[in-house]
Structure 1
Amino acid sequence: MTDKPLVLDVDGTFLATDMLLECFWAGLGRDPIATLAASVRHVTRPERLKAELARIAGLRTELLPVNSEVAALAATALAQGREVVLASASDRTLVTRLAADYGLSERVFASDESENLKGARKARALVAAYGEGGFDYAGNAPVDRKVWAHADTAIVVGDPASARQIEAKGKEVMRLPGGWRPADLARALRPHQWVKNVLLFLPLLAGHVFVPGPWFAALIGLIAFSLAASSIYVVNDLLDLEADRLHPTKRNRPFASGKVPIGVGMAAGVASGLAALIIAAFLGWPMLGIVTLYMALSLAYSLRLKRLRWIDIATLASLYTIRVVAGALASGVGISGHLIAFVFPVFIALGAVKRITELTLATSDDRLPGRGYGRSDRGDLLNVAVLGMVGALLSFFLYSFTDQARALYPTRLWLWLALVPIGLWLVRMIRMGWLGRQDYDPIVFALTDKRGLGLLMIALGLMFQAARLWGGWLGL
């Protein structure tokens, strides 16, 4: 057993995240203008950038994900009476706070506004404090090789190339697991949420278009929207890191839990967004415009609008409605104002159900992290959901008297009967949200709820009967 100090790098070693990037995204959520201005102003001076972003972000270091293997190593060293010291290129105020959070040494080595303590500079500071070979050092990146060269034992976290190089020089190496899995990155892109983009096919169903060409075009549009949605999900999760870590289940999301590095997520988000725009451009300028609008409104929602009571629900409804419009643009099928007048209040109801579900599943009476609602708002949200339901059913009923409805649905009685399963489906959605038996996203829940899907299929069948489509299909 040694009594030499155990020195731990922070970003990617003791923490399963990077504090500079944490500060950047927390700062974007708190004060985006100041954060972007600081990033541009100090782009060539990382020490100043780190200090300024730390001031803006107000980062809660106790919530940051810790590498369990390194934390266990630190706990063992403390139990043996060894000094455990944090040495990081991150801002000193944050590193000092982090050390206090975990009962580590008050002595820290970190960057300040005059020096970026990284690589050779960190090595010189540690040798000056403890002497050549007077400490064990844990790090995770090639830049740490300059520090490992002066340590007694090199503790390498998830960097096998560096471990092999150090071992080749005859130095003792301890290897600890690190890195990330592609499966966790795929989970961060939320492919299960792509099912919501089946809304692009709604104009085709409403217009009774059943030829392959428009459906294929809508499918290409669905792919564009799915990639666009994934890019925004990444942004949303990075902006919501603190709120997610305070949530009973969202704390397990890939970025919040530290399973995927923030930098990797940023690269994946940019790639997904660019791919979405390229595919949309292939379908024409109108589709490119609607995808760009969707991404811009989604970004505004992530940055600000989701924190505004009631405005967030209207924005959610708008984002769902944009998908319906996109389906019409991609396929070349016209869309009527009557369809928008029906689906928008439906989406208002579902947006309210989303918040009701979150409040029902909340573990305390506090306001939802990052949202403007508390449990006392459940009644008001229920009223909004019911008003949305009534508005949608009324719009559907009034549509049945229009010239367009007479042309598409000659047998109006069947169209009126379709109101029954539609109404029952909306009641079911509201009830399941009130009881907390839904997914956090009502659209995803709706598309996996067998009873709800049964009601929708009955409604669709009745509408096809009203349109006299069954007779043609069945040869009657």
Structure 2
Amino acid sequence: MQTPSPDDCPLYVDLDGSLTPSDTLHESVMLFLRQHPGNLLRMIGWLPRGKAGFKRALADAVVPEPEGLPWREDFVAFLRAEHARGRTLVLASAADRRIVQRVADHFGFFSDVLGTSDGQHNLSRANKREAIAAHARANGHERWAYAGNSADDLPVWEGSAQAIAVNTPAGVLRTLRARQPVAHTFEHRSPSLKTLLRAIRLKQWSKNGLIFLPLLAAHSLDPVLWGQVIVAFVAFGLCASATYLVNDLLDLPNDRVHRIKRLRPLAAGTVRIATAVPLGLGMIAVAFALAVWVGWPFTAMLALYTTLTLGYSMRWKRIALFDVLLLATLYTLRIGAGALATRVDLSNWLLAISIFLFLSLALVKRCAELEEAVDSDKAPAPGRGYQPRDLPSLRAMGMSSGFMAVMVLALYIDSPNSRALYHQPDLLWAAAPVLLLWIMRVWLKTGRRELHGEDPLAFALKDPFSWATLAVMIGIGLLATVGL
């Protein structure tokens, strides 16, 4: 009897890290936490059952939808071509069998599946090799091929007639090649530094520039205070980046169906959940270590910000109107944190202007999302509490709030506080129409669908008019300080 070529042997395909760059176990954990943060305690209670028992209990609660997962498209194209030429494909994974079956049904080119099913034996390493060999023999095949990605797959490759390496780290690939030839290699894609910086949303650190406002408003040039506020800025940036990671982890299903957010590193699968979690924990630890150095009042403010942000990510962003009030509060807390870091008295005028201005910008963001949904004739962004018919009300609230910010600025100009700080406070009147013009322009562009669902900050950072507005406002402030 002629021995079949390795290219004609049935091909057993790994799921986690190979077919998908993500891990369905990690995806399931995030889905379960998204339902309720208290589910963390339930998962801890399942740990004594072992890995197989944990997977079974978790799959009883949640199963990720294949349509919402990222896939290794070049490898999927290869599998489609193999199936088209008549090769038998079997999806073999250590994931719960129900998840594996759902993925196989999604693609339609797998003839069978192997997965962890009894809650006792995790289908990984030697267990997987034995299960594949038994399955192949039961179907009349003595030889089989295997496509995998990690060190756990080395024992499986040892029993195969053909090895295919998908997204395999360099060290594992060297070990594999030292043991047997590799028929096909799909390159390992480690996240670059640029990708990691995108994942932690480094651009959003510009929001934390609000921490400097109390010191600027007090016209202080004390180098010690400026040193403290710079450290506070870094601490707040690290903490905010960590909470952005949490938000993106919990919002993966929604982000992956969003026109813009699906390109975020976590949603696209270019940064794995297993990378994001320790990265976020590390940033939180460093942030609070720096915060303690700055001072306990600042540390308490950072803890409050973290708590509110996590509450927003897990639950509160789904509550209409409360979500935008909370976003405005989070912006304003940055100003309060700057005052606590430098022990500068916080102006009530500054707080009032900030809360109205940031409420307007938060409503810009929600209106831009709804405008995009209406324009594309799609349902509003999932995970939000708004409907297209809310647009007129939200526009009215947002524009009114922006105008209120300008009105408070006008009242401040004629106040005793202004006259105590500025040599010629009357020059500040020039700032009112400049700010008013910028607010009206942002709302006009929102109504024209020119923000394309973007965060107003992201829009402002690449908008020359916004930069010119900022430069003019700074110039007016300097002139009012030193006088003509």
TM-score tier by shorter-chain length is over 0.9
Match of 1:114 among 117, 120, 132: 120
Q: Which residue of 2 aligns with 1:151?
A: 160
Q: Does 1:346 align with 2:357?
A: yes
- Equivalent position of 2:403 in the other structure: 390
Secondary structure of the 1:17 match is coil
Q: Which residue of 1 aligns with 2:185?
A: 175
Identify the match of residue 15 of structure 1 among 20, 27, 30: 20
> Does the CA contact (< 8 Å) of 2:80 and 2:109 recur in 1?
no
SS of match in other structure, 2:17: coil
- 1:448 deviates by 4.0
Structure 1: how far apart are the matches of 2:174 and 2:426? 77
Q: In structure 1, how many angstroms separate the alpha carbons of the residues matched to 2:152 and 2:450?
A: 49
Is the 1:418–1:462 contact (alpha carbons within 8 Å) kept by the matching residues of 2? yes
1:330 is aligned to: 341
Superposition map of 1:403-442 within 5 A: 403-409=416-422, 411-438=424-451, 440-442=454-456
Partner of residue 275, structure 1: 286
Q: 2:295 aligns with which of 256, 261, 284?
A: 284
What displacement does 1:246 show? 0.3
For residues 212-264 of structure 1, give each alpha carbon's deviation from its aligned partner in whole angstroms, at most 9, with x where no partner exists.
33233222211111111111111111111111110112111111111111101
1:37 alignment partner in structure 2: 41
Query: What one-letter code is carried by the residue in structure 2 that aligns with 1:68?
Result: E
RMSD, aligned CA = 2.1
- Counterparts of 2:203 and 2:477, CA distance in 1: 29
CA distance in 2, matches of 1:69, 1:465: 59
Give the equivalent residue in structure 2 for 1:128. 134
Secondary structure class of the residue paired with 1:309:
coil
Post-superposition Cα deviations, 1:426-475, rounded to whole Å, max 9, x if no partner, equal 112222222233372223433443222333433343344444x245xxxx
**Residue identity matched to 1:19:** T
Secondary structure of 2:259's match?
coil
Contact 1:30-1:57 within 8 A present in 2 as well: no
**Which secondary structure does the structure 2 equivalent of 1:32 belong to?**
coil
Residues 1:133 and 1:296: Cα distance change in structure 2 (over 3 Å): farther
CA shift for structure 1 position 89: 0.8
Structure-2 separation of matches of 1:261 and 1:353? 31
Structure 1 141/133 Cα, relative in aligned 2: closer, same or farther at 3 Å? farther
- For 1:55 and 1:31, locate their aligned partners in 2 and report how far apart those are by CA, in whole Å: 16
Equivalent residue, structure 2, for 1:198: 209
Alignment of 1:5-404 (within 5 A): 5-34=10-39, 36-44=40-48, 45-112=50-117, 113-131=119-137, 134-157=143-166, 158-183=168-193, 184-362=195-373, 363-404=376-417
**Shift in Å, 1:154:** 1.2
Aligned partners of 2:274, 2:218: CA distance in 1, in Å? 44
CA shift at 1:415, angstroms? 3.2
AA aligned to 1:146 is P
Q: Is the 2:34–2:314 contact (alpha carbons within 8 Å) kept by the matching residues of 1?
A: yes
Change (3 A) 1:380 1:133: farther
Tell me what 1:474 maps to. Answer: none
Give distance in 1, aligned partners of 2:182 and 2:121.
30
- Which aligned segments of 4 or more residues in structure 1 are displaced greater than 6 angstroms? none
Q: Do the aligned residues in 2 keep the contact of 1:428 with 1:452 (CA within 8 Å)?
A: no
**Closer, same or farther: CA 122–170 of 1 in aligned 2, 3 Å:** closer
Where 1:43 maps in the other structure, the secondary structure is helix
| Partner Cα distance (2:408, 2:30) in 1 | 42
* 1:170–1:426 Cα change, 3 Å: closer
The aligned amino acid for 2:336 is: V
**8 A Cα contact 1:393 1:419, kept in partner:** yes
Q: CA deviation at 1:297?
A: 1.1
Tell me the distance in 1 between the aligned counterparts of 2:20 and 2:61. Answer: 21
Alpha-carbon distance between aligned partners in 1 of 2:379 and 2:25, rounded to the nearest angstrom? 29
The answer to whether the 8 Å contact 1:338/1:399 transfers is yes
How far is the alpha carbon of 1:167 from its aligned partner? 3.2
* Structure 1 residue 371: Cα displacement: 1.5
CA distance in structure 2 between the aligned counterparts of 1:107 and 1:395, rounded to whole angstroms: 68
Mapped to 2, the partners of 1:163 and 1:406 lie a distance apart of 70
Q: Contact 2:328–2:358 at 8 Å: present in 1 too?
A: yes
- Closer, same or farther: CA 330–20 of 1 in aligned 2, 3 Å: same
In the TM superposition, residue 331 of structure 1 has moved relative to its aligned partner by: 2.4
Shift of 1:411: 4.3
Q: Tell me the amino acid that sits aligned with residue 42 of structure 1.
A: W
Instruction: Number of aligned residue pairs: give it.
Output: 469
Superposition pairs of residues 456-471 of structure 1, within 5 angstroms? 456-467=470-481, 469-471=482-484
If the length of structure 1 is used for normalisation, what is the TM-score? 0.93
Residue identity over aligned pairs, in percent, reads: 35
In 1, the alpha carbon distance for the partners of 2:179 and 2:457 equals: 58
Q: CA deviation at 1:351?
A: 0.2
Q: Which amino acid aligns with 2:160?
A: A
Partners of 1:458 and 1:342 in 2: how far apart? 18
Counterpart-to-counterpart distance in 2, 1:414 and 1:301: 40
> What's the CA shift for 1:307?
1.3
Matched, 1:446 2:460: yes
Residue 93 of structure 2 aligns to a residue in which SS? strand
Q: Distance in 2 between matches of 1:24 and 1:159?
A: 24
**TM-score normalized with structure 2 length:** 0.91
The amino acid that maps onto 1:213 is: V
Deviation (angstroms), 1:401:
4.4
Is the contact between residue 232 and residue 338 of structure 2 (CA under 8 Å) also seen in structure 1? yes
By how many angstroms is 1:108 displaced? Answer: 0.8
Contact 2:165 2:182 in 1 (8 A): no
**What letter corresponds to residue 230 of structure 1 in structure 2?**
S
Range 321-330 or range 126-135, more displaced: 126-135
The runs of 5 or more residues in structure 1 that have no matched partner are 472-476
Note if contact 2:406-2:436 (Cα within 8 Å) is conserved in structure 1.
yes
Structure 2, unaligned stretches of length 5 or more?
none
Aligned letter for 1:74?
A: L
The alpha-carbon deviation at position 133 of structure 1 amounts to: 5.3
Residue 87 of structure 1 contacts residue 108 of structure 1 at CA under 8 Å; is this kept in 2?
yes
